[in-house]
Amino acid sequence: MNSLNTQNIVLLGLPGSGKSRVASNLHKQFDCINLNQTMANIDLSKAQYSEKTTRPGCFEWNDFLNLPQKQCNQTFWLLIDVRNPLPKNNSEWLEESLKKMLMVADGIVFTFTESASLDDQAWWNQWLTNHAELDVKKPVVRFLNQSLPVSFKGFVAASSKAKDSQNESQSTQSLELETFCFQVERIVLEHLLMGLDSSRQNLGMQITRVKAVVKTLEYANLVEIEGTPYRWDTFAADESILSGDIGKIEISGIKLDQAWLKQLVDASKS
């Protein structure tokens, strides 16, 4: 029986790395996987697998700052969005978070590979080589076109040495993510994105996620904004599935300056 049939899978990764996409695909592609999307405060010690009573599940761990304790019959998958390398400036905090997740991961999943250049994928391969812990190179699989390889059987649980490193990595001071919401009627999209990028690159602001559906000066249709720790994506919003949050901008991160962000959003209004 392969590991996909015998272990709970815990998905780690930075915000926007594709955890929900991979979880949904596992449920569709491999009928042995139950979909159990979770918040970060789930007690994973209760997420055990018993062949007689239940089937394994896929759990999203959303708090990349504070990692969970691994239980038996669990494997940790680290998801990395490989469409861009890490920024050259003010990305040390991102690298430290990724290194901690790498230490506890049993394997790595490259996500969004269909949109990533070979150079960017090579950059991340080299990053993994440079940060291999305990002289152990973790296996890598690619999530391509919303699918994992059919032949993929999951990752083998890490050795006891790696588990010791997990405990060491969790001894650091706990941090918390915070989210601020702003309401706008219409914005100048270019001004908002330039301001957010400057906040990261020049002010060192640790922005982890930006989500919004807004009216803009540049486009007639609604624009959806998806920001992750090291890239921005904007695309036409699907108006048929919008719930009523048009004009709301959510900005999440660590130790954010709310007053500065409010000034930035206000200055972006058209």
Looking at residue 5, the DSSP 8-state letter turns out to be: G
**pTM for the predicted model, two decimal places:** 0.82
59-99 per-position pLDDT tens digit: 888 888 888 888 777 889 999 999 999 988 888 999 999 99
Residue 196 has pLDDT above 80, yes or no: yes
Beta carbons of 40 and 63 less than 8 angstroms apart: yes
The residue type at 249: I
13-48 per-position pLDDT tens digit: 999 999 988 888 877 776 555 555 444 445 555 544
Which domains are present in the chain?
3-169 (3.40.50), 178-268 (3.30.1220.10)
Burial string for 243-257 (b: 16+ CB within 10 Å, else e) reads eeebbebebbbeebe
Indicate the SS3 state at residue 228: strand
Q: What token pair was written down for 159?
A: 């050795």
Burial string for 63-76 (b: 16+ CB within 10 Å, else e) reads ebbbbbebeebbbb
Q: In what order do the strands lie in the sheet with 74-81?
A: 34-35, 57-60, 8-13, 74-81, 107-111, 140-142
Q: What token pair was written down for 250?
A: 């959510």
Strand partners, 253: 178, 207
Looking at residue 195, the DSSP 8-state letter turns out to be: H
Using alpha carbons, select from 229, 227, 192, 179 the residue that is nearest to residue 208: 229
Indicate the angle between helix axes 258-268 and 189-201, nearest 10 degrees. 150
Q: Write the CB contacts of 188 (distance below 8 Å, at least 6 apart in sequence).
A: 216, 217, 218, 268, 269, 270
Q: What token pair was written down for 169?
A: 């990595």
Confidence of residue 179 (pLDDT cuts 50, 70, 90): very high
pLDDT of residue 41: 46
Please state the separation of Cα 175 from the chain's center in Å.
17
Confidence of residue 152 (pLDDT cuts 50, 70, 90): confident
Per-residue pLDDT, averaged over 227-253, amounts to 87
197-220 per-position pLDDT tens digit: 999 888 889 999 999 999 999 999
The residue type at 262: K
Beta carbons of 105 and 140 less than 8 angstroms apart: no
